[in-house]
Amino acid sequence: MTILTTKTSHHENKAKIAESFGSASKSYDFSARLQRFSGKHLMPWLPDKNDLTVLDLGSGTGFFTDLLATGYDQVIGLDFSKKMLKFAQGCRNKNIFWLEADAHKIPLQDESIDFIYSNLVIQWCEPLDIAIKEMLRVLKPGGLIIFTTLVDGTLHELKSSWKQVDDDQHVIDFKTEEQLGEYFNTDASTVLEHKCQDIILEYENVIHLARELKGLGANHLPKKKNRGLSGKDKWFTMTEHYKDFLEPSGVYPATYRLYSGLVAKLNSQHEN
């Protein structure tokens, strides 16, 4: 019974996340400062061989899928948001193969992919171990996962400002750096390199921050209670608390703790 409930709630959450990203598909590229930075940041880890099959997992508007298509023979963009895929299909390289699918159930053959590129996606993947198992299944032995995600510490200013107002969850739960290491350092895969850094973006006000999160489709919050109660008063009180973080120049900072990882699939993964 509990398992069924958990599965159903994962399913409902995924549908809401996909819908939220979908409704942001047209505005996404204007609010994607962080995504552009983090995605480019992975470039030095890309293999310098062209005859490879690449999967861009959670391809969004296809900005990086398009870049990958300039360097590799076969590129697949996978996303579970129909609208994101439609947008990408309309304006990106015509040779890209687009797939509407969930990262937890990748409709590709075992050992068919040379490397997976995934920029700021896996923080949305719950349960993460199932998504990782799927990535490792479709990767060839020795294949790579080159990814970024956000970890605990992200949006701590917003989190602590809300904490002074109520006990609701206003920011999604991010994994810790250590937990990510545990997820990827197993008998099936190993972390070859990783980096963790704080990226601080500046906003004119908290509404600007909220709009950017919305524009990115990053506004879906699972398990949020008392939705109806968080009215204008609560919002105003939260923004007053956020002023504690104001920089001398008067801008509002928001911290994004960015984890970048280079993971290799180990050759002997067959026991699952």
- Reported as type and span, the H/E element at residue 238 is helix 232-242
Q: What is the closest distance, in whole angstroms, from the C-beta atom of residue 78 to ligand SAM in the complex?
A: 6
Q: What number of chain residues touch ligand SAM (CB under 6 A)?
A: 25
User: Which residue do the tokens 């019974």 mark?
Assistant: 1
Distance CA 182, CA 128 (A): 11
Cβ closest to ligand SAM, residue 52 vs residue 84: 84
Q: Is 76 in the site for ligand SAM (CB under 6 A)?
A: no
**Residue 155 CB-density burial (10 A; 0-12 exposed, 13-18 middle, 19+ buried):** buried
**Residue 262 CB-density burial (10 A; 0-12 exposed, 13-18 middle, 19+ buried):** buried
Nearest to 203 by CA among 263, 259, 256, 131: 256
Q: Which of residues 170-229 bind ligand SAM (CB under 6 A)?
A: 216
From 79, 114, 134, 157, residue interacting with ligand SAM (rule: CB under 6 A): 79
Q: Is 60 in the site for ligand SAM (CB under 6 A)?
A: yes
* The one segment of 3-11, 46-54, 118-126, 258-266 that binds ligand SAM by CB under 6 A: 118-126
Q: Is 81 in the site for ligand SAM (CB under 6 A)?
A: yes
Binding site for ligand SAM (CB under 6 A): 14, 17-18, 21, 32, 35, 39, 58-60, 63-64, 79-81, 84, 102-104, 119-121, 124-125, 216
